[in-house]
Structure formats: structure tokens, C-alpha cells
Amino acid sequence: MFETNLTVAGKVVTEITRHTFPNGDRKTSFRLMARERRFDRDTQDWVDGDKVFLQVNCWRRLAEGVAVSLVKGDSVVVTGRFYVREYFTDSGERRSSNELDARSVGPDLAWCTVSVERPPALAPASIGTPPEEVVAAA
């Protein structure tokens, strides 16, 4: 009924994995680490604080964009629905995983620059153009 939406800035810490389901749905996943950075007034230096790891799951069109755009080590900003998935291991141990079903994923421009490449149907000239005209122009 109620969703917990979360936005996290962090670093991709695993390889990007892709999966296509029998019905054609696509999923791309990676682990994200977000680490607190704070200024220590005593040492007059920035220090690492607590960190959190999240499994990020991207679906359909977002899955494709993430799969071709990101690699391990990239700094990203992710927003989506946060939840805790509980499961049991083969040996019967109860475990949990913090997960984020992403709605949007993008590079953290504090750590990189990007050049945006848009598919023809999403190019600025096509905004406001009826879809059939965009397809005909492609």
C-alpha cells in the first residue's frame, strides 16, 4: 500500500548483471555502496563514516540503459522503491537483503562528466511530435 522511496548516491561495487525472462522482460542488477563522508574538526580532514550496501534492480527500458552505460566503479545516483527481502539459505539460515527497485539511475556528476546520447524517438526535436511521425522520420 505504501512505498518507501529512497534516493542514494554511491558507487557500483559489482559487475553489472543482465537477465532476460521467458516472457521477454529484462532485468539488470548491481550492488551499490553508499558511504558517509564527514569532516573531522579535530584532524581537519575528511573521514569515511558508515556505509550501506544495496542490491539495485532495474527493469525493462531502464535495464537496457544501465547495462550499456555503467560499469563497476562508476559513481551513480539511484532512486526507487526500497525494501528488505528475506530468504533462507540452503542450510536453513534466515538472511535479509536491502534492495532497491530503481526508477531512475544516472551518473553522479560530482565525480564525472557525461555526453548524453538519445535514441531518435527521445531526441529533443521529437518532443511534442506524434509518435507515428517520429517513427516515420527514423
Q: Is residue 129 part of a domain?
A: no
Q: What are 58-86's pLDDT values in tens digits? A: 999 999 999 999 999 999 999 999 999 99
Q: Is residue 124 part of a domain?
A: no
Number of domains the chain is built from: 1
Q: Is residue 71 part of a domain?
A: yes
Q: What are 20-67's pLDDT values in tens digits? A: 999 999 999 999 999 998 888 999 999 998 999 999 999 999 999 999
Domain range for 61: 4-111
Q: Is residue 135 part of a domain?
A: no
Q: Is residue 54 part of a domain?
A: yes
Characterize 42-64 residue by residue with b for buried, 16 or more Cβ atoms within 10 angstroms of its Cβ, and e for exposed: eeeeeeeeeeeebebbbbeebbe
Q: Which DSSP string corresponds to 23-68?
A: TS-EEEEEEEEEEEEEEETTTTEEEEEEEEEEEEEEEHHHHHHHHH
What pLDDT is stored for residue 138 in this prediction?
Answer: 47
Q: Taking the alpha carbons of 87, 89, 95, 101 in that order, is the dihedral positive or negative? A: negative
What pLDDT is stored for residue 134 in this prediction?
Answer: 45
Q: Is residue 136 part of a domain?
A: no
Strands 26-40 and 45-59: antiparallel
CATH of the domain at 80: 2.40.50.140
The answer on pLDDT for 129 being more than 90 is no
